[in-house]
Amino acid sequence: MSLPVTYARWLEELLGEAPPSEPKATCHDCVMCQPDLPADRAFNPATRCCTYVPRMPNFLVGRLLEDPDPALAPGLRSLQSRLAGEAAHPLGLELSEAQAAEYDRLLADESFGQADIQCPHQRDDGLCGIWKHRNGICATWFCRHGRGAVGEAFWDAVQRWLTAIEDVLAEFAARSAYQARGLAVDAAGLAEGAWGAWPGTPAEFYRACADRVAGLDWRAVRRLGGPAVRKRARAVRRTHRALFDERLPPRLWLAPHDSLDDASPQRRLMAYSGTDWVTVPAALDDLLGTFDGRRVPAAVAALRSAGCAPDGPLLRALYDQRVLVQNEP
């Protein structure tokens, strides 16, 4: 896993270190398409988590158009197709009304990852044609997290931060592109998708937007983003610190959860997410009710007497996955 270069740089400048990876989310060999997953849990191998058409801010579109990497040829073809349709907008590529409605139906049916809806940028080999320049949502969604719900909270905060940045910089880049040509900026028109007096093609406009954003560091983005982006940056830092906090609450309760392997000696338990799990011995799963609010050492001692106490990493994983929780459910 790697973030788009510009986004990774901003995040590293914000955190003071390289962003973490999520090696359990294997996009090159989708963990959600493995044959041992139940059919009602597994992703559609043809579409996987790409049952989503991404919005792309103007500057990302421009970055893609300018990138000479030959590996991006399939992505460029799909991008040109969107540019020729109704998606092109001064602030970026939007979803058509039909695409938005289709995605709303997918969410209502709870069929994300299982539907036949396919991202137009997905290559024939199933991988992403615009991977190097994907948006903040695509860059931060993972089916599985090394720290379970703790990791999900971090990446959700990063996604909200990047989405806010995309909105701010798309408007900044559009205004700057017009002003560089000596053209008046129609703020209402921009919001409504009007191209105004722009004399060139949408592709030329998007390249100009990419030029306006190129070279911005996090300090410049922070200044442009104002209070909303700064607030979301604080959430990113807070949830990042939580990734390194491995303390357990003094008391734990067993939470409602699903088991994928009731008849197996090893069971995969799901709680916080329908795509992530922790694997435990069946004997331990049967006795997890021992975590009934008593102090954790007492619960572990009782399980040890029964011959199935979890070790430290497994206990932490059960908590990270929210199979065990700190408040009575």
Please report the sign of the dihedral spanned by the C-alpha atoms of residue 283, residue 284, residue 288, residue 289.
Answer: positive
Q: How much is the pLDDT for 243?
A: 97
Structure tokens that stand for 183 in this block: 């053209």
Q: How much is the pLDDT for 131?
A: 93
- The model carries a pTM of 0.94
For each of the chain's 329 residues, which pLDDT tens digit applies? Answer: 578 999 999 999 999 999 889 999 888 888 998 888 888 888 888 888 888 889 999 999 999 999 999 999 999 999 999 998 888 999 999 988 888 888 888 777 777 888 777 889 999 888 899 999 999 999 999 999 999 999 999 999 999 999 999 999 999 999 999 999 998 888 788 888 888 888 889 999 999 999 999 999 999 999 999 999 999 999 999 999 999 999 999 999 999 999 988 888 999 999 999 999 999 999 999 999 999 999 999 999 999 999 999 999 999 999 999 999 999 99
Q: How much is the pLDDT for 176?
A: 95
CA–CA separation, 257 and 276 (whole Å): 12
CA–CA separation, 190 and 170 (whole Å): 10
| Residue 272 amino acid letter | Y
Listing DSSP states for 156-222 in one string gives HHHHHHHHHHHHHHHHHHHHHHHHHTTPPP-HHHHHHT--TT--S-HHHHHHHHHHHHTT--HHHHH
Structure tokens that stand for 251 in this block: 């008391």
Structure tokens that stand for 324 in this block: 């065990």
Instruction: Find all residues with CB under 8 Å of 166, minimum gap 6, and list them.
Output: 57, 60, 92, 135, 136
Q: How much is the pLDDT for 1?
A: 56
Stated length of the chain = 329
Q: How much is the pLDDT for 193?
A: 83
- Which residue ranges make up each domain of the chain? 5-242, 251-325
With beta carbons less than 8 A apart as the criterion, state whether 275 and 48 touch. Answer: no
Q: How much is the pLDDT for 113?
A: 80
Q: How much is the pLDDT for 256?
A: 97
| Residue 307 amino acid letter | G
